[in-house]
Structure 1
Amino acid sequence: MTARVLVPIAESCEELETVTIVDLLRRAGIDVTIAALEPGPVTMSRGVVILPDAELEDVIDHEYDMLVLPGGMPGAEHLNNDARIIALIQKMAAANRYTAAICAAPMALASAGVLQGKQATSFPAFHDKLTAGGAALSADAVACDGKVITSRGPGTAMDFALQLIESLLGKEQRDAVEAPLQRP
């Protein structure tokens, strides 16, 4: 059975993070759905326009193994302020499924209450939101604590995406995706 991942996006999310996550997960054979909060194409933080696979409303009730939130501002704030996203994070956590976020987006995990007692990281400007949500800050580029995975920002997006693959499919599949990328 193929792993299924939902990647919600909003206006002004970080495109480098979004595309890196989606690209590497799909290279691993994972079924990824990019879902926009609102209908239509989404203009990302640097002006790149992404055509989502679906609107969030149409896919929110589907079953997923992992929810991944890209960062970027104010995109991550839009995700954090959307009651559907907060409820989905809580539903995924209650079902013992993966919740993951990068850059500014871990603030939504904090808002949903899933960082309580967890090691987590984010873009440094958002550390206070993580600690307010009960997280213990990690110095790692990618922090994994149970079914919660967080990362710092655009520069860590590839490491983050590879960790998502490893968490879902194992180290062998991660290595199979990573080898042809020719990382140093």
Structure 2
Amino acid sequence: MLEINFLPFPNLETERLLLRQVNSNDAEAILSLRSNDEVMKYIPRPYLKNIIEAKDLIAMFDDKIENGIGINWGIAFVNQPEKILGIIGHYRIKPEHYRAEVGYMLFPEYKGRGIVSEALKKVVEYGFKEMKLHSIEAILDPGNIGSEKVLLKNGFIKEAHLIENEYYEGHFLDTMIYSILNK
């Protein structure tokens, strides 16, 4: 079984991006991100309502990092590290199966610039090289064509389309699972 340790926190860098730890200074941005209709359109999670909920979410991120059960990075430009454009991370890590779920969200004004794809490549690389994962999955709403394109572009393949397997706010929802193997 995998032994996962995210301490000290691993900042990751690409040509344009810095993937860094989300901190309390990001609370306003996290609130804005997690209460944005366009961002949350395909994410069946409650909207954040206030700055306290945003700080609580950041504290939950920190707790998961400290306990090696999940990791989130704030996505920022290298030359503007204080301003996050979105978040990306490994969620639902299954160390006994050497598998984790990757997830991401980005402010709408940054879509279409290859930012998620660039960040995803680095996070997948980290998952395989540093975390020693065998596979990484992404779970998405079938209507989220943009996310599906990003995953396919980055070597993920469709594993499944589950019919009405989640219940959220009075509705049953389908989900699709995409994955990539460590080759």
Normalising TM by the smaller chain, what interval? Answer: 0.3 to 0.5
Which of the two has greater strand per residue? Answer: 2
TM-score (norm 2): 0.35
